[in-house]
Amino acid sequence: MLIANKLNAIIRILLVNSLENKQDLTVYALAKKAGITQAMAKRLVIRLKDSEYVSIGHGVRVVNPIKLIRAWGYTYSVNELDNIQFVAAERPQYVMLKIANMARMSDKRYAFTLFSATEHINPYVAPSVTHLYIPKKDAHDWEFLFTTANMLPTEKGGDVICFLVDEYYFEGTWNSRGMMVTSVAQLCADLYSYGGRGEEAAEQLITMIKRRLENV
């Protein structure tokens, strides 16, 4: 990871809060959401303020969400996350529906990302691989669910890739047609860090975000 996990969590929380037009978060609220001490949250916020990404008043406010999303996307790497992979040998759209149904029946958390997520927001590239976030603590449970559904585990080259993450990665996830999708801020960062067509897809999302912010 190119930036520390704690800073990664703070940026994610601030961006999700900003793009959802919620009230500015206090340092205390930030610390609680990120699962870190208030002193640590304050130090990280001051770092962001010194770089002119946020301002501090009654709460912490993102000065320019687009600028922060781009900076985050190029200092974070989805490719460096631990993952488990499976071979589904089915169309990604069907696999995604299958995963959503398994999660609903087993009450397990997940969120689609990369091109599996852009399908729900602004289709840009038809996904050939299904990418999703799952909590680290649920890795064994998900492995059981996938193998039960005839998706076989593999060391590499799988067409279902599950990124193993901490709970704060699910900040801002939302439901689209019965499927859970990662936050738009997280998706942009993932696409930028993925490179290639991912950067192009991220710029498409940025255009959508700009229009939304202009209409607020």
The pLDDT value given to residue 216: 59
Per-domain boundaries in the chain: 5-73, 78-212
Tokens matching residue 144:
């059981």
CA distances from 136 to 11, 55, 87, 141, 150 (A): 20, 33, 20, 10, 22
Total count of residues recorded for the chain: 216
pLDDT tens digits for 10-56?
Answer: 999 999 999 887 888 999 999 999 889 999 999 999 999 999 999 99
pLDDT tens digits for 81-140?
Answer: 999 999 998 899 899 999 999 999 999 999 999 999 998 887 777 788 999 999 999 999
Q: Which residue has the higher pLDDT, 162 or 198?
A: 162
The pLDDT value given to residue 3: 62
Burial of 133 (0-12, 13-18, 19+ CB in 10 A): buried
Distance between CA atoms of residues 190 and 79, nearest Å: 9
Yes or no: domain 78-212 corresponds to CATH 3.30.460.40: yes
Q: Which residue has the higher pLDDT, 143 or 195?
A: 143
Distance between CA atoms of residues 51 and 66, nearest Å: 14
Which class does domain 5-73 fall in? mainly alpha
